[in-house]
């Protein structure tokens, strides 16, 4: 390894970056824009669910029950209907996602101490949201039912019985259950991996297309010096993107950073180096900039978005897919590391396995890129 030749390759690549303002915009502007868009647009919170009511009882009891739905931030009352046909039209037009139907004998059955029916019709076209809406509806109905039972016991015995179970809940790491605290750290891994791979996927392919690879072949530059020299300037850009992403997450999106800042940037640089090396490997194999950039997009963004645990739990995936994520999705390690450092405030004593696997991925991919480049230069 000759550090003079390594520095010369790094300087050459830095000049290419400075002379191509589009690369700088791609390297710095797009990550900021994507983080802003995803941070504001993506949310897993289900609030303001539109619902309609067909109240056939028109009694204080039915109005009290419906008032419980209207008084929460989870539901948005859109009006009353007078028939099942109107309920169907509201759900078909997506004017409502929930319809509550109160039967005529609702209050009479409650006063007689008999079970009173309440029909909840939910739009199930979005199964995940429908399940959450059903959970909200069941919780409100159970609370109302418990209140009625306590009032009935109080009327009979004159006393209010103490609950048999005193449930006291406490949410750790994300007390307000803000989905932004979950999304922003995870999307950092997706964006940084995509941009890093896209940037370096053009490097070797650009040399082949411009005919300068033959000149590099004739120089004493070794494959390792060529690969590492091209990695250095993009690593600086990756570090700058990391700084910008962390600042936006903490000061714009108010995501708590409870762990070590040094550890966060340390594992971030390991991830950046690994994805940069992945981009160079793609560039070495493709030899065409268009093909290399397209393959970099497919091999980084989609796996990172779908299989990293950012959007969907890996434990719920089929076993072959879970095994695949260990091999070809380095973002799964970085997502676990970032969330552990940001939200839980833990260190390497807990996260060492993910950090070790991430470092192993970076070393292996870099070694493969050097080996493939040696074959090309030879």
pLDDT tens figures, 273-282: 999 899 888 8
353 pLDDT band (50/70/90 cuts)? very high
Per-domain residue ranges of the chain: 3-43+178-377, 49-157
What is the structure's pLDDT at 376? 52
The counts of H helices and E strands in the chain are: 16, 4
Residue 217, number of CB atoms within 10 A of its CB: 12
- Nearest residue to 54 (alpha-carbon basis) of 108, 11, 118: 118
| 280 vs 113: CA distance, rounded Å | 73
What is the average per-residue pLDDT within 86-111?
91
Q: Which of 56-70, 170-184, 283-297 has the highest mean pLDDT?
A: 56-70
pLDDT at 150 over 70: yes
pTM of the model: 0.80
In order of 60, 133, 219, 329, 357, the CA distances from 324 in angstroms are 58, 33, 40, 8, 14
Q: Which of the four CATH numbers 3.40.1710.10, 3.40.190.10, 3.40.50.300, 3.90.1150.200 does domain 49-157 have? A: 3.40.1710.10
pLDDT tens figures, 264-274: 999 999 999 99
What is the structure's pLDDT at 348? 92
What is the structure's pLDDT at 154? 77
- Tokens describing residue 268: 């971030």
309 pLDDT band (50/70/90 cuts)? confident
pLDDT at 377 over 60: no
Q: Is the dihedral of CA 329, 334, 336, 339 positive or negative?
A: negative
pLDDT at 24 over 80: no
What is the average per-residue pLDDT within 141-164?
78
What is the average per-residue pLDDT within 332-359?
92
What is the average per-residue pLDDT within 14-38?
78
What is the structure's pLDDT at 375? 46
pLDDT tens figures, 225-255: 888 888 888 888 888 889 989 999 999 888 9
């Amino acid at each position: 390894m000759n550090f003079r030749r390594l520095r010369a390759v790094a300087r050459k690549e830095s000049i290419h970056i400075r002379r191509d303002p589009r690369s700088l915009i791609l390297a710095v502007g797009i990550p900021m824009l994507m983080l802003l868009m995803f941070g504001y647009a993506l949310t897993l919170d289900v609030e303001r669910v539109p619902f309609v009511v067909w109240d056939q009882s028109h009694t204080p009891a039915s109005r009290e029950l419906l008032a419980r739905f209207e008084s929460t931030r989870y539901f948005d009352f859109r009006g009353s209907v007078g028939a099942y046909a109107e309920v169907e039209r509201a759900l078909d037009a997506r004017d409502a996602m929930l319809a509550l139907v109160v039967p005529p004998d609702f209050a009479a059955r409650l006063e007689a101490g008999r079970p009173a029916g309440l029909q909840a019709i939910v739009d199930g076209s979005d199964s995940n949201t429908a399940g959450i809406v059903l959970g909200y509806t069941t919780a409100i109905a159970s609370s109302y039912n418990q209140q009625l039972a306590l009032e009935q016991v109080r009327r009979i015995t004159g006393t209010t019985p103490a609950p048999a179970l005193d449930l006291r809940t406490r949410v750790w790491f994300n007390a307000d259950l803000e989905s932004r605290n979950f999304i922003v750290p995870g999307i950092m891994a997706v964006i940084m991996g995509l941009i890093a791979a896209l940037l370096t996927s053009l490097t070797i392919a650009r040399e082949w297309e411009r005919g300068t690879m033959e000149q590099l072949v004739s120089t004493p530059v070794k494959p390792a010096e060529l690969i590492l020299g091209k990695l250095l300037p993009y690593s600086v850009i990756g570090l700058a993107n990391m700084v910008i992403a962390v600042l936006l997450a903490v000061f714009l999106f108010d995501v708590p950073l409870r762990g070590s800042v040094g550890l966060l940037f340390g594992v971030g640089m390991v991830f950046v180096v690994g994805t940069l090396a992945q981009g160079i490997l793609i560039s070495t194999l493709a030899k065409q900039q268009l093909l290399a950039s397209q393959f970099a997009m497919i091999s980084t963004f989609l796996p990172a978005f779908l299989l990293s645990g950012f959007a969907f739990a890996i434990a719920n995936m089929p076993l072959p897919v879970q095994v695949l994520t260990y091999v070809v999705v380095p973002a799964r390690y970085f997502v676990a590391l970032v969330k552990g450092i940001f939200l839980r405030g833990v260190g390497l004593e807990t996260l060492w396995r993910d950090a070790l696997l991430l470092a192993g991925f970076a070393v292996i991919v870099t070694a493969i890129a050097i080996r493939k480049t040696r074959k090309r230069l030879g």
